[in-house]
Chain A
């Protein structure tokens, strides 16, 4: 701390004495540790309007940042310029419309900033580019029983206007929707989607299945997938999927389900199937799916 104050005082003194000389300097002190990477960031003393900004090249992903001037800055800004990296950590307000995340900083306490390599999008679908009642190209809906086929609707959506939906009929039904064939480019793949189910709890519900290289569909867990959040919450006691772990009951709205796909599928093709079944009696509302994202 004393060293920092002496350094700052010296800088100021030199600049004051030689007030007519150019005395350029860095507004922030940035140190980096951890995983090596070459990342360019922009730091601004005022991030709301991107004022008093400087570019910094950091050689590692864990950063400690403080200001040089003896002042507290309530809305400093940080933006990552190098593609493929994202900001992680708490205490950042990223709701600006200029790409900066705001954070308070001063010259006395370091702010910790972690950069991580961002997931690269492999496949995505939010069903918003088609008219309600139709499916995007490559998506196929079919099944048996009294339930309606999966289709796009505007009744609920994570991203407006559409999601896909099938109803929970009061009679036996088995309805599914298949994604297009996707060729994987990594051995490590993550899938996420927004999931809103409202069905007869324990009797009607849905599952996620996968087909590898054109083979038969099997449950995502049986194929080696692992749920990371909001996985199956029960076991069905009736209907075509009797005895299977599934999403059943009422999620109360869209919840984010994420999972690791089965490992070691580089260059292989997959197809994903969302499958809903209902038993012979008691109807529910149905199952909505939206904002499907596959990343590596």
Chain B
């Protein structure tokens, strides 16, 4: 009975996030059925809005092969960069025990652009160019969240994990001369890619900050996958990759 109830809630949550939901009023009986789950969803679930900052780690040193040349080695001088993040999610209540409660949900984040910088060692001999590019992430996670009660009724420990696709985009690849005589090659351009992503967080939920509205403060780790670039010349053999990206964030969640 419990599992059946849970399945109905998850199904309702999924359909809620379906864009077709917006037009449900004009659709047939199937979506009317879906709408019938909405009261359950609203009663047994909660939305969350997250704000914070993150420190991204990305970029990797690699050799770019060019027809007829020894090639270029692209080093990375700046792996880490920080920017803001926002997230929204919706969780529904799951198993509830004396010491803890499980919640299930979907949570999506926008991790604003962060920069990677490096240098180009032409023919593995001369560092004649510098380069930089940007990476942004839009991961969507299926989440499992645990609320663990503490000795203080107004404070709860929150742990969660999630997996899902990361819609990431590299952009703004540009080079500049370091010696005044070398011309930028401009051989790569940004590319959108979907990668596997995972996240985990630890936070403390408090009901003493914004009245009775729960607020969470915590740390979240992201594994964001590897971005890549388009080649702009057929003389370039292999393309540039952004390396596996990780993010460490401090965030604040408001439970609605």
Chain A interface residues (CB < 8 Å from chain B): 11-12, 15, 21-27, 42, 45-46, 48-56, 68-69, 71, 73-75
- Known contacts A46-B69, A71-B123; 6 additional CB pairs below 8 A are A21-B127, A23-B126, A24-B178, A51-B236, A54-B182, A75-B68
Contacts of A49 in B (CB 8 A): 187, 233-236
Within 8 A of A (CB), among B39-73: 66-70, 72
The residue on A at minimum CB distance from B184 is A53
The residue on A at minimum CB distance from B73 is A19
Proximity bits, B160-199, A CB within 8 Å = 1, else 0? 0000000000000000001101110101000000000000
Decide yes or no whether B125 CB sits under 8 A from chain A. yes
Contact A27 B185 (CB under 8 A): no
The residue on B at minimum CB distance from A11 is B125
Contacts of A11 in B (CB 8 A): 125-126
- Give chain B nearest CB distance to A53 CB in angstroms: 4
6 residue pairs, one from A and one from B, having the closest CB atoms: A25-B126, A24-B179, A49-B235, A69-B123, A53-B183, A49-B233
Interface of B (DSSP majority class): loop
- Give chain B nearest CB distance to A109 CB in angstroms: 17
The answer, among B68, B125, B236, for a CB contact under 8 Å with A25, is B125
Contacts of B119 in A (CB 8 A): 22
CA distance A73 to B67 in the complex (A): 9
Contacts of B182 in A (CB 8 A): 24, 27, 53-54
Contact A46 B66 (CB under 8 A): yes
Contacts of B125 in A (CB 8 A): 11-12, 15, 25, 68-69
Contacts of A21 in B (CB 8 A): 127
Proximity bits, B222-256, A CB within 8 Å = 1, else 0? 00000000000111100000000000000000000
- Give chain A nearest CB distance to B166 CB in angstroms: 31
Can you list 25 A-B pairs with a CB-CB distance of less than 8 A? A15-B121, A15-B125, A15-B127, A21-B127, A24-B127, A25-B125, A25-B128, A26-B126, A27-B123, A45-B66, A45-B68, A45-B123, A46-B66, A46-B68, A49-B235, A51-B69, A52-B69, A52-B122, A54-B128, A54-B181, A55-B181, A68-B126, A71-B123, A73-B69, A75-B67
- Sorting the interface of chain B by its residue count into under 10, 10 to 19, 20 to 34 or 35 or more gives 20 to 34
Q: With A15-B125, A27-B122 in contact, is A56–B69 under 8 Å at CB?
A: no
Most chain A beta-carbon contacts within 10 A, residue among B69, B128, B182, B183: B69
The residue on A at minimum CB distance from B183 is A53
CA distance A192 to B234 in the complex (A): 40
Q: With A42-B183, A45-B69, A46-B69 in contact, is A51–B233 under 8 Å at CB?
A: yes
Contacts of B185 in A (CB 8 A): 51-53
- Give chain A nearest CB distance to B133 CB in angstroms: 18
Contact B181 A26 (CB under 8 A): yes
- Give chain B nearest CB distance to A38 CB in angstroms: 15
The residue on A at minimum CB distance from B77 is A20
The residue on B at minimum CB distance from A42 is B183
Most chain B beta-carbon contacts within 10 A, residue among A53, A54, A55, A56: A54
Contact A51 B187 (CB under 8 A): yes
- Give chain B nearest CB distance to A235 CB in angstroms: 56
CA distance A42 to B183 in the complex (A): 9
CA distance A7 to B160 in the complex (A): 60
Contact A23 B233 (CB under 8 A): no
Contacts of A24 in B (CB 8 A): 126-128, 178-179, 182
- Give chain A nearest CB distance to B131 CB in angstroms: 13
Contacts of B127 in A (CB 8 A): 15, 21-24
Within 8 A of A (CB), among B121-139: 121-123, 125-128
